Structure 1
């Protein structure tokens, strides 16, 4: 059994622990049936780390994550930590991981499984067959650029501000990832910004246009304002193939796209860095988009499928295991034919919990492997 694939497991908070425990059963199945093993390490992040260490991410856990081939992440944050200082909130641990690992390219697929067409709030003819990729720049923009802060104006009022700043190299490197993704898909790339009102958007459009002219062979590039893109995602989402955009707009648009698929609990993501010159593999972190869902944490009700699909992305993008990734994805679709967690429940299906959904996927993997 191959065991040289180093994976750092960071379950985090809330349902992150539950869906990660479920994911371990998928990993165990692959070890038993496909001789596909991993050198697994586990660490604390988010509120779990804050409770023990007083920080949402220790230097040791960060170093172990950087030294790994991939990080498998759960979720962070619960209302318990709303009152702690901003710099040590659970989400700060996730942001530090992204920044220190230089995970600048966030891939968020929005794909509607055939079995989930009716789970979307949009009409079936609008979402049936939907398969788009939102590429979000993850290390710049208003989440990281300076200056940012809250100033006391001295008259009893305050001013909060953030800076949305990008440089030419930052835009070029995410643009190249977008073009490469488009070449592997349908060849269409939509660059999204607000060039009509934001200087950062003007530069974004200029750089993307020049990059496409120089390196965009085989890719059809179009431009769209972010507010129009949000509208178009719910009006006619299948017009898109790959959307590339900045950190803030990518956060908003990918969550909008999540509901096209039927549930935020169905959306995986991959955050990739620059490929290593020796291995050719990028630093990478894989996480479901759904967050920690504290309202259902500890009740065994969490939908584990976004975690499984994030793991499938890890198999595909970090370890070149496309067959195994496809097996997990097909098993998820097969399991959905009869079993559903509460967030995606539909008439004619049996409602189940985290364990039941996991068992349905494992049973489907057994059937597909015969």
Structure 2
């Protein structure tokens, strides 16, 4: 049997730097545990535009469709700000999400014990935090029609965006969230605005239908999204898995991200329907951006990208033990005091480089054998 395939798209800015550290981890799993991958690398974003005049070449799109999983670094940078909207680096990322139909975006918010004091909230509120937000990614107000800016009848303009969801779009992301809940603590909270939006009423009714007909063993609750935002900063540990729409998921996942203290720590997964081999269409990427202000300086934190690979191990390759091993190595390194510049905090200290953090995590993996 052939090895599972992984397409790496480092992208722009610090993307290649953090991805180089993931490469070390991939190599270690192959050498030390016989967990080998057929790895290919290609261009996306500004790097693809520089080479091909497009943020995602058709050949790269085809390779992404054929791969068992895609691992992406970051896209964008000031160099490309003047480009037409249709060829900006971010369009390559959006094309991957759209054409692979990656409808379920998984955003974990996990607070490592060693970083509990980095959150803007009190330690007892965030210590031990481990929640998962499942955001619908391919529909809703970001994609609904009609949309645009139009002249009105009074000499001004009107901006229009349409919030639109279908039964199947809601049910499929709900199923993804219920499946995750089953693998965690069997608890799911669905968030919407059913009190003021018809799409929210439909969302609540369809999530409830999926629960009643397919996942009645999972504890389901409903919450208005504005209350959900308040509860996330009041007592986030009341939640385990949260499922919500595209707009609210965008806002709530960023709110939850800051509970952990640093965007440089947060991975994500975007999943679609199962392929012929049973694995889901999948792309994994760190939440942080391309950070052009520190590109090439060895200051980037590679942990979010490394943890994105851990998510790939768990959700694409059914290697939960390996994922836990990698997450444990990260925890061990942080507990030992290793910090990249973004993790120093107000107390200061000495930062280690991107490369040194990657080496420390590989060393922790080796020590765990």
Structures share fold, TM-score greater than 0.5:
yes
Residue 110 of structure 1 is matched in structure 2 by 109
Q: Tell which deviates more after alignment, 189-198 or 123-132.
A: 189-198
- How far residue 153 of structure 1 moved from its aligned partner, in angstroms, is 5.2
| Distance (Å, rounded) in 2 between the aligned partners of 1:43 and 1:66 | 13
Residue 169 of structure 1 is matched in structure 2 by 168
| Distance (Å, rounded) in 1 between the aligned partners of 2:368 and 2:114 | 17
- How far residue 312 of structure 1 moved from its aligned partner, in angstroms, is 0.6
Q: Tell which deviates more after alignment, 139-148 or 342-351.
A: 342-351
Residue 143 of structure 1 is matched in structure 2 by 142
* TM-score of the superposed pair, with normalisation by structure 2: 0.95
| Distance (Å, rounded) in 2 between the aligned partners of 1:348 and 1:84 | 39
SS of structure 2 residue aligned to 1:270 = strand
| Distance (Å, rounded) in 1 between the aligned partners of 2:154 and 2:299 | 49
Q: Tell which deviates more after alignment, 344-353 or 153-162.
A: 153-162
Residue 316 of structure 1 is matched in structure 2 by 314
- How far residue 69 of structure 1 moved from its aligned partner, in angstroms, is 0.5
Question: Which aligned pairs between 1:28-107 and structure 2 lie closer than 5 A?
Answer: 28-107=27-106
Which ranges in structure 1 are unaligned for 5 or more consecutive residues?
A: none
Contact 1:3-1:37 at 8 Å conserved across structures: no
- How far residue 297 of structure 1 moved from its aligned partner, in angstroms, is 1.6
SS of structure 1 residue aligned to 2:366 = helix
Residue 23 of structure 1 is matched in structure 2 by 22
Residue 210 of structure 1 is matched in structure 2 by 209
227 and 367 in structure 1: CA distance in 2 versus 1, 3 angstrom threshold: same
* Cα deviation 1:181-213 (Å, max 9, x = unaligned): 112211211111112222211211121122222
292 and 3 in structure 1: CA distance in 2 versus 1, 3 angstrom threshold: farther
SS of structure 1 residue aligned to 2:232 = helix
SS of structure 2 residue aligned to 1:340 = coil
For these two proteins, the number of residue pairs brought into alignment is 367
* Cα deviation 1:10-29 (Å, max 9, x = unaligned): 11111111111111111111
Q: Tell which deviates more after alignment, 170-179 or 46-55.
A: 46-55
Residue 357 of structure 1 is matched in structure 2 by 357
| Distance (Å, rounded) in 2 between the aligned partners of 1:161 and 1:292 | 30
Contact 1:339-1:349 at 8 Å conserved across structures: no
SS of structure 2 residue aligned to 1:271 = strand
Residue 326 of structure 2 is matched in structure 1 by 328
97 and 137 in structure 1: CA distance in 2 versus 1, 3 angstrom threshold: same
349 and 188 in structure 1: CA distance in 2 versus 1, 3 angstrom threshold: farther
Residue 126 of structure 1 is matched in structure 2 by 125
